[in-house]
């Protein structure tokens, strides 16, 4: 463990660390654009320069190995002068369109200009213009005038997603990031991570383009239910204090964007594009009315009817949701498992064209909590559902049920969140809340338990499954 000194303070660095890593790990901030903890070192932006005491020049901290007794200055006059000159150079041809840029509020170029430069451009030359709003892929726009050529996006596609989809062509002030001609970026299921890691507003997410200013949004910690990896994500939605009353109130309860929430035990700093598109899952038309054989009834009436069917059933089978939280599954087990032969179904299967599995994150089971269900309800519950001849009640919880396979004579109680024709065919249909309307935990394929928080209030006409299960069991004696 080499001892180094940063601004005169002793720091125990790890062997093989760089000065950048040792400084950040010990509470000293050194600015960086091109360096990223998960990518190779490019050393091209030069904003991370520091001074070794006694030397009359500066050097980049991101590529300087620590060595015993090294004395580093991160804020000397020389360092400050060099950072200011670097910022002047980087912004030489930058359009400074922060007022219309989606990155405003999260942009390190803005922050560093304020912290290390703060002066108008000294250049007397007109700015060199480049392509604005270049279509990089179906999901990503590129503004070359904002690009500072840090090459993070290029290295991401080479080193992390391995699509090799991006490169830089030309030299000097006409250098441009461009997609490879056979468009592998469109087929890269991790492509949108480049939007996050671009330190400026050059790479823009088309679904989020000019949709919201980030200071009106808040991130709620959540878990992506798109596969059994269960990546930690932030679901961004409008802050309560910035609720829209007239313009478009639907925005108050909609998902503006989804970004990775760094979790070394699950997904590191990345997620796949499916995780970005959770709004397409959660914002499908919702079922918000209870039904008895297709006729709308009050929620309490439907719950009472379901409770009666549960109480009368001689042989009941439950098809349990693999999107249920650990809390909901435990509530089901406590209240009802003794009355049902239970099977955990796959609520979702892979969509056509979706990547099934890879070495980075994507897992074959496209449901978030199969492992949690198996742990709570037992291995036997994860087999193929079987319906004995005397089955007289089937409780279906969640999506993915092939209703044609249910015994024709059995009554059906269906708990679901979305509008589907089967809702109206069930003897009792009870609408239930979705993940963004409640808190809970999922257990991923490797046994890591992750918590998701509530983003929005649920409609009062919709039940929470966790409470519902206790309600369905009230007054029904367990016979087995
Ligand atoms: S587009 Fe962004 S991430 Fe890519 S090189 Fe330019 S500034 Fe860096
Ligand atoms: S890898 Fe799976 S859990 Fe992670 S973001 Fe993609 S779909 Fe969601
Ligand atoms: S962060 Fe060190 S050169 Fe860019």
Partnered with residue 360 across adjacent β-strands are none
Residue whose CA lies nearest to ligand 1 atom number 8 = 150
Judged against a pLDDT cut of 90, whether residue 457 lies above it is answered with: yes
4: Cβ below 6 Å to ligand 1?
no
The ligand with the least distance to the CA atom of 33 is 3
Fold of 3-92: Ubiquitin-like (UB roll) (3.10.20)
Distance 33 CA to ligand 3 centre (A): 6
Pairing of strands 428-431, 140-142: unpaired
Judged against a pLDDT cut of 70, whether residue 16 lies above it is answered with: yes
Distance 227 CA to ligand 1 centre (A): 29
CATH 3.30.70.20 residue ranges of the chain are: 126-210
70: Cβ below 6 Å to ligand 1?
no
CATH 3.40.50.740 residue ranges of the chain are: 290-472
CATH 3.10.20.740 residue ranges of the chain are: 3-92
- Residues with CB under 6 Å of ligand 2 are 224, 226-227, 229-231, 267, 271-272, 274-275, 361-362
Distance 151 CA to ligand 1 centre (A): 5
The ligand with the least distance to the CA atom of 47 is 3
The ligand with the least distance to the CA atom of 222 is 2
Over residues 200-211, the pLDDT tens digits come to: 999 999 999 999
Q: Give 475's pLDDT tier (boundaries 50, 70, 90).
A: low
The ligand with the least distance to the CA atom of 41 is 3
CATH of the domain spanning 126-210, picked from 1.10.150.650, 3.40.50.720, 3.30.70.20, 3.40.50.20: 3.30.70.20
Over residues 52-79, the pLDDT tens digits come to: 999 999 999 999 999 999 999 999 999 9
Over residues 210-230, the pLDDT tens digits come to: 999 999 999 999 999 999 999
Distance 343 CA to ligand 1 centre (A): 48
Residue whose CA lies nearest to ligand 1 atom number 4 = 153
| Average pLDDT rounded to a whole number, residues 365-383 | 92
- Residues with CB under 6 Å of ligand 3 are 32-35, 43-48, 60, 62
Distance CA 49, CA 57 (A): 10
Does domain 290-472 fall into CATH 3.40.50.740? yes
Residues whose CB falls within 8 Å of the CB of residue 273, separated by 6 or more in sequence, listed in order:
139, 189, 190, 191, 192
Over residues 24-39, the pLDDT tens digits come to: 999 999 999 999 999 9
Distance 134 CA to ligand 3 centre (A): 26
The confidence score (pLDDT) of residue 251 equals 87
Q: Give 454's pLDDT tier (boundaries 50, 70, 90).
A: very high
| Average pLDDT rounded to a whole number, residues 138-167 | 97
The ligand with the least distance to the CA atom of 364 is 2
The confidence score (pLDDT) of residue 21 equals 98
Q: Give 380's pLDDT tier (boundaries 50, 70, 90).
A: confident
Residue whose CA lies nearest to ligand 3 atom number 3 = 43
Judged against a pLDDT cut of 50, whether residue 325 lies above it is answered with: yes
Distance CA 460, CA 415 (A): 15
Distance 155 CA to ligand 1 centre (A): 10
Distance CA 271, CA 25 (A): 24
Percent over 70 (pLDDT), the chain: 99
Residue whose CA lies nearest to ligand 2 atom number 6 = 272
User: Residue 352 CB: number of other CB atoms within 10 A?
Assistant: 5
Cα dihedral sign, 342-344-345-348: positive
Judged against a pLDDT cut of 70, whether residue 479 lies above it is answered with: no
């Amino acid at each position: 463990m080499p001892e180094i000194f940063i601004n005169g303070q002793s720091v125990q660095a790890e062997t093989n660390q760089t000065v950048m890593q040792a400084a950040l790990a010990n509470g000293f901030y050194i600015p960086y654009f091109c360096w990223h903890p998960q990518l190779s070192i490019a050393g091209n932006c030069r904003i991370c320069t520091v001074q070794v005491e006694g030397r009359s020049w500066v050097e980049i901290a991101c590529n300087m190995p620590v060595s015993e007794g090294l004395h580093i200055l991160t804020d000397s006059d020389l360092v400050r002068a060099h950072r200011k000159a670097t910022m002047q150079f980087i912004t030489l041809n930058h359009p400074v369109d922060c007022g219309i840029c989606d990155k405003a509020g999260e942009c390190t170029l803005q922050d560093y200009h304020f912290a290390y430069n703060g002066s108008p451009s000294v250049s007397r030359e007109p700015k060199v213009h480049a392509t604005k709003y270049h279509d990089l892929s179906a999901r990503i726009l590129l503004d070359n005038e904002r690009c500072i050529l840090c090459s993070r996006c290029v290295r991401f596609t080479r080193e992390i997603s391995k699509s090799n989809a991006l490169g830089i062509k030309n030299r000097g002030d006409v250098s441009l990031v461009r997609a490879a001609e056979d468009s592998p970026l469109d087929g890269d299921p991790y492509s949108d991570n480049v939007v996050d890691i671009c330190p400026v507003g050059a790479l823009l997410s088309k679904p989020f383009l000019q949709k919201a200013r980030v200071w009106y949004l808040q991130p709620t910690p959540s878990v992506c239910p798109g596969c059994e990896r269960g990546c930690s994500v932030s679901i961004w939605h409008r802050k309560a204090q910035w609720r829209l009353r007239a313009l478009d109130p639907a925005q108050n309860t909609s998902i503006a964007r989804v970004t990775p929430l760094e979790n070394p035990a699950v997904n590191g700093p990345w997620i796949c594009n499916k995780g970005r598109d959770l709004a397409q899952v959660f914002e499908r038309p919702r079922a918000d009315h209870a039904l008895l054989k297709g006729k709308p009834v009050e929620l309490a009436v439907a719950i009472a009817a379901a409770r009666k069917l549960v109480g009368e059933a001689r042989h009941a089978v439950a098809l349990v949701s693999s999107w249920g939280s650990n809390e909901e599954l435990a509530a089901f087990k406590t209240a009802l498992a003794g009355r049902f032969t239970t099977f955990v179904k796959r609520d979702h299967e892979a969509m056509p064209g979706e990547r099934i599995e890879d070495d980075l994150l994507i897992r074959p089971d496209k449901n978030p909590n199969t492992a949690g269900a198996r742990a709570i309800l037992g291995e036997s519950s994860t087999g193929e559902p079987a319906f004995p001849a005397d089955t007289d009640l089937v409780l279906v919880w969640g999506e993915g049920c092939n209703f044609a396979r249910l015994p024709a004579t059995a009554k059906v109680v269906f708990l679901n969140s979305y509008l589907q024709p089967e809702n109206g065919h069930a003897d009792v249909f009870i609408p239930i809340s979705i993940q963004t309307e409640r808190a809970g935990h999922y257990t991923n394929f490797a046994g890591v338990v992750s918590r998701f928080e509530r983003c929005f209030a649920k409609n009062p006409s919709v039940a929470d499954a966790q409470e519902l299960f206790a309600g369905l069991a009230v007054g029904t004696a367990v016979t087995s």
